[in-house]
């Protein structure tokens, strides 16, 4: 199995998920508002809940998982740089990340 193909597929899936969530966020918020507002009739609230449940699997915000943009690794990710700890270390040692240098004391 080629690791590079697997890595790219994971990163592509992450990008697709983030784009889908961003595209459907406004509609999702509207449906959630309707389902939780008790001033609407029960039938309308149920219809809004059904519409929420019919969203695609990757359109849910909980489907987003922080992954390294270089390797696709799903553990040990720094949020600011979106890199795993090993890639962060390599880039920091090469001087590719501004403002980061090896600590010496």
For residue 86, pLDDT over 90 is answered with yes
The H or E element spanning position 25 is helix 3-36
Q: What is the pLDDT of residue 50?
A: 93
Give 2's contacts (C-beta < 8 A, 6+ positions apart). none
Domains assigned to the chain: 1-65 (1.10.287.1480), 67-105 (4.10.830.10)
Mean pLDDT of 84-94: 92
pLDDT in tens, 3-61: 555 557 888 888 888 899 999 999 999 999 999 999 999 999 999 999 998 888 888 88
Mean pLDDT of 59-82: 87
Least Cα distance to 14 among 73, 54, 81, 55 occurs for: 73
Q: What is the pLDDT of residue 6?
A: 53
C-alpha distances out from residue 94 to 32, 71, 89, 91, 99, Å: 46, 17, 9, 5, 12
* The model's pTM: 0.68
For residue 105, pLDDT over 90 is answered with no
């Amino acid at each position: 199995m080629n690791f590079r193909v697997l890595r790219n597929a994971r990163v592509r899936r992450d990008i697709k998920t983030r784009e889908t969530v961003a595209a459907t966020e406004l509609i999702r918020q509207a449906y959630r508002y309707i389902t939780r507002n008790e001033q609407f009739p029960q039938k309308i609230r149920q219809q809004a809940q059904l519409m929420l449940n019919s969203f695609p699997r990757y359109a849910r915000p909980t489907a987003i998982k922080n992954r390294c943009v270089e390797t696709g690794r799903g553990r040990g990710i720094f949020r600011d740089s979106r890199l795993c700890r090993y890639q962060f270390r390599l880039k920091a040692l090469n001087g590719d990340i501004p403002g980061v240098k090896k600590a010496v004391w």
